[in-house]
Structure 1
Amino acid sequence: MSVVGQSPKGLKAIATLEALKGVLSLAVGFALHELGGKEIQHLCEALLQHLHLNPASEIPSVIMHSAYKINDHNLTLLALGSVLYATIRLVEAFGLWRGYAWTEWFALASGAVYLPFEIYAVATEGKMLPVLALVVNLVVVAYMAMVILQRRKEKHALP
């Protein structure tokens, strides 16, 4: 697998994943900003009512308590945070698609940062979604490490 000067299919797959994460983050950020605090509170109330959940029980009460703490200032900060996150993911996706070495390192580091949290979630929750997230992230981190090592090997092999 030659990495220097080209972008392998694996990098394009990871770039697509990162781009999807960026687009999803933008959609969530804009949705939060558009809904506003009162709308989110009404949405949470309607959802709990539709699911026939007792608002006084533990999880629904936490959801409602959190929803009532939401205000337009908090939503603006969340929306800005999601735009920043999306920007980072989309720049990373572009760089991976084009095969830029710095984005390969960035993808390795940003994936590795999440591993301890994902391992903890799998160990404490044992649910399928954290397991899936951990497996996907392990594959991405391992692949990025392989690409970086291959690039270094090819760079040192050049005359």
Structure 2
Amino acid sequence: MPQPETFPIENIFVPTKQKKALNSATVAEIAESMLDIGQQTPISVRRDGDRLVLVEGLHRLEACKALGETTILGVLVAAELAQPKPLLAERPEVETERIKMARLKQLRLEKEAAEASAASLRGAGAGEALRARSATGVRSNPKASTGRTAKPAPKSLSAWIDQQKGSGGRY
């Protein structure tokens, strides 16, 4: 592992992509820590012609700038080794998980919409039946059977799918 050395802060170039990740609260915390115990972890830089390019340690660099330092402790790394760590969103397993969660959310929304539609149809159907009975003067018998037995509402998505398969419905 290369030994840390001191680099002039003014010669360090920060790529625009890294500047976007700057958090001023983190810079303030690191600056306070540097005042108390000094810089504990060196930054990583690589050579690009006659300038140095920051690879890792943006918040430490900005903390040193805020404290008025002119130099910073750093490690010079080879350009081949200077590949930045992939962002969380760029990792394939994160994208796979995001797609899976989106599918589950879509299924849940479809199920809720189907339940709401069924509930409104049941409510509307009951209201029409009551109006029709009252118009004809027929009294309703709550114990009378309609000839069909209503299936209980499924308690889970898999139970709903099984119910749909059993009744020949689309799912």
> TM-score over 0.5 for the alignment?
no
Q: What TM-score do the two structures reach when normalised by structure 2?
A: 0.24
Q: What TM-score do the two structures reach when normalised by structure 1?
A: 0.25
Higher relative contact order (CA 8 A, sep 6+): 1
**Relative to total residues, which structure has the larger helix share, 1 or 2?**
1
Structure with bigger gyration radius: 2
